[in-house]
Amino acid sequence: MHRILLSALAALTLTTAADAEATGKLVLYTSQPNEDAQRTVDAFMAANPGVTVDWVRDGTPKIMAKFRAELEAGAPQADVLLIADSVTMEGLKAEGLLMAHPEADISAYEPGIMDAGKFWFATKLITTGIVYNTAAPVKPASYADLLAPEVTAAFMMPSPLASGAATIHMVAVTGTDLGWGFYETLAKQGAVADGANGGVLKAVAGGEKLYGFLVDFLAIREAAKGAPIQFVFPTEGVSAVSEPVAILSNTTNPDAAKAFVDFLISEPGQQLAADMGYLPAHPGITPPAGFPARDTIKILPFDAAKALTDEAANKARFTEMFGG
């Protein structure tokens, strides 16, 4: 009887702990735009009133530099990372700096979008496709259309040396039948690779360039505001940055960190992403205005672990073609 009573008490304790609401303080480091970061935090705290979130926002390279400096000093501050790309997450995972969340429910998601070991989780799909100025003489529908000399000469792309999304796009596109020959032709015919996505948007919208590679939401948002640009999901497919979220192994509040991850990959969290103008990673959430139906968007395959291994070689090859 005594043993049975102890077993029952243990089971009750485990159930109570599992059902307990997350509480306390959570520190988020993110590369989201400020407005999006605030909306994300506000929505999470509304759903988890026992948790207070402090957040720091900067570009992924600067956020990672801050995290690394704190780690080196033996005083890491962040509990959770919400950053641009899965390649960076793969590096952290390989170093043992991420905590797995085995209980996370990813059953609704397509294979390959989430880390199989549940160390990082996609929160949206920020695709890279083609943007063109509506005054352009050619209306490209595919990557192959960009190889016409008159198109290439008026083409600009963000550099993989400055943009994580551009790096993933380069790896995804060269992994198709187009191969590295596609980028070699662009370089030989005068295409420009410089800076990040914002520079491409400015150049194409302003008419300095007529064509470019760009992340979807920037083009679609600005077109809705009246910018003379059009975004194209190429027939060959688009690459996708999943803006993954992950729990750091040094977290002092794993329950709140897991609750944050659970919220972002839940249907309400994915609806929030759509409400902010992003393509949700969850296939059951309707994309925002300006996007085609989710099942019509072809996502190019991308292996984050292999991309991490090949990163230096890929960037060196790109630099040889386009310069640093």
Same domain, 211 and 182: yes
What pLDDT, on the 0 to 100 scale, is given for residue 186?
97
Determine the Cα–Cα distance for residues 14 and 201; give it in Å rounded to an integer.
52
For residue 48, the enclosing domain spans: 2-124+242-291
Same domain, 143 and 270: no
Residue 130 vs residues 93, 127, 231: alpha-carbon distances, Å: 32, 10, 6
- Kindly give, in sequence order, each residue whose CB lies less than 8 Å from that of residue 143, ignoring residues fewer than 6 positions away: 130, 173, 178, 182, 234, 236
Helix axes 254-265, 34-47, angle to 10 degrees: 110
What pLDDT, on the 0 to 100 scale, is given for residue 9?
36
Same domain, 96 and 131: no
Running DSSP on this structure, what letter comes out for residue 295?
G
Same domain, 247 and 273: yes
Would you place residue 2 in the very low, low, confident or very high pLDDT band (cuts 50, 70, 90)? very low
Integer-rounded Cα radius of gyration of the chain: 21
Tokens of 165: 């999304």
Same domain, 219 and 101: no
pLDDT tens digits for 239-281? 998 999 999 999 999 999 999 999 999 999 999 999 999 999 9
Same domain, 22 and 163: no
Would you place residue 20 in the very low, low, confident or very high pLDDT band (cuts 50, 70, 90)? low
Tokens of 297: 């968007």
Same domain, 69 and 29: yes
How many domains is the chain partitioned into structurally?
2
Would you place residue 1 in the very low, low, confident or very high pLDDT band (cuts 50, 70, 90)? very low
Same domain, 174 and 270: no
Tokens of 229: 């640009």
**84 pLDDT more than 90:** no
Mean of the per-residue pLDDT values of the chain:
91
- Among 38, 30, 81, 17, which residue's Cα sits nearest to residue 57? 30
Same domain, 222 and 132: yes
CATH code of 176's domain: 3.40.190.10
What pLDDT, on the 0 to 100 scale, is given for residue 253?
98
* Amino acid making up residue 227: A
Tokens of 280: 């949700």
What pLDDT, on the 0 to 100 scale, is given for residue 226?
97
Handedness of CA 127, 237, 206, 85 (dihedral sign): positive
Find the mean pLDDT for residues 96-104: 98
Same domain, 210 and 316: yes
Residue 225 vs residues 32, 129, 218, 221, 229: alpha-carbon distances, Å: 21, 19, 11, 7, 10
Name the region of 280 (left: φ>0; alpha: ψ -120 to 50; beta: rest): beta
What pLDDT, on the 0 to 100 scale, is given for residue 201?
97
Same domain, 24 and 106: yes
pLDDT tens digits for 112-160? 889 999 999 999 999 999 999 999 999 999 999 999 999 999 999 999 9
Would you place residue 16 in the very low, low, confident or very high pLDDT band (cuts 50, 70, 90)? very low
Name the 3-class secondary structure at 45: helix
Same domain, 283 and 316: no
